[in-house]
Amino acid sequence: MRVGVLALQGDVSEHRAALADLGVDAAPVRSVAELAAVDAIVLPGGESTAIAHLLVTSGLLGPLEARLRAGMPALGTCAGLVLLASSIADGRDGQPALGLLDVTVVRNGYGRQIASFESSTELAGGVRVPTVFIRAPRITEAGDDVEVLATIDVGDGVHPVLVRQGPVLGASFHPELTADRTVHALFLDVASASHAALSN
């Protein structure tokens, strides 16, 4: 299975380094040809409106959407989660919501005072994962097909921060900015299982 990282804007090198820690040499994806060469993709954190704009100008938006709809495994972190959501409560006019995750997100939804903060969350099985939130999207609604893998309580309610729908994972936080590799390892597990199923 060949893994790529969408490399138009954002923390591409951090994701590639995280995957390298797990023995995966992830290819940067900047063009339709580079997209065609990968079986699974990471959509990094950064600025979702900038990434969306570059997806349009690079001609990647349609082909990426088609691959994702055909079942390509994906991990979106922060801005990447915004791109994968079905609804962006405060998106810019025309900002695409690819709709691979049936969630509503509010961009920068954790407020100004706590716009960037560190915390941790617990996955099933009691694994604690450190979380870094930087102007993070808040997931305010999740559909029935969305599995909530982790939540955070910042004092005004419990919100999902790691979700999965089929072969697609989304995180409000940045697992690529800590040394913990739990989320990337989970993505590789999900991706290789669904890649094996697709190739059979």
Which residues contribute to the site for ligand GLN (CB under 6 A)?
Answer: 45-48, 78-79, 82, 107-108, 134-135
What gap in Å lies between CA 8 and CA 98, rounded to an integer? 17
Nearer to ligand GLN, 41 or 194 (CB): 41
What gap in Å lies between CA 134 and CA 77, rounded to an integer? 11
For the CB of residue 17, give the shortest distance to ligand GLN in the complex, in Å: 17
Residue 78 annotated among the catalytic residues of the structure: yes
For the CB of residue 126, give the shortest distance to ligand GLN in the complex, in Å: 27
Catalytic-labelled residue, pool 15, 53, 174, 184? 174
Catalytic-labelled residue, pool 14, 15, 53, 78? 78
For the CB of residue 176, give the shortest distance to ligand GLN in the complex, in Å: 10
Residue 176 annotated among the catalytic residues of the structure: yes
For the CB of residue 135, give the shortest distance to ligand GLN in the complex, in Å: 4
Q: What spatial distance separates the first Cα and last Cα of the chain, rounded to whole Å? A: 13
Contact criterion met (CB below 8 Å) for 34 and 8: no
What gap in Å lies between CA 12 and CA 179, rounded to an integer? 15
Nearer to ligand GLN, 107 or 159 (CB): 107
Nearer to ligand GLN, 11 or 146 (CB): 11
How many CB atoms are closer than 10 A to CB 79?
Answer: 27
Catalytic-labelled residue, pool 14, 15, 53, 176? 176
Which residues have a catalytic role annotated? 78, 174, 176
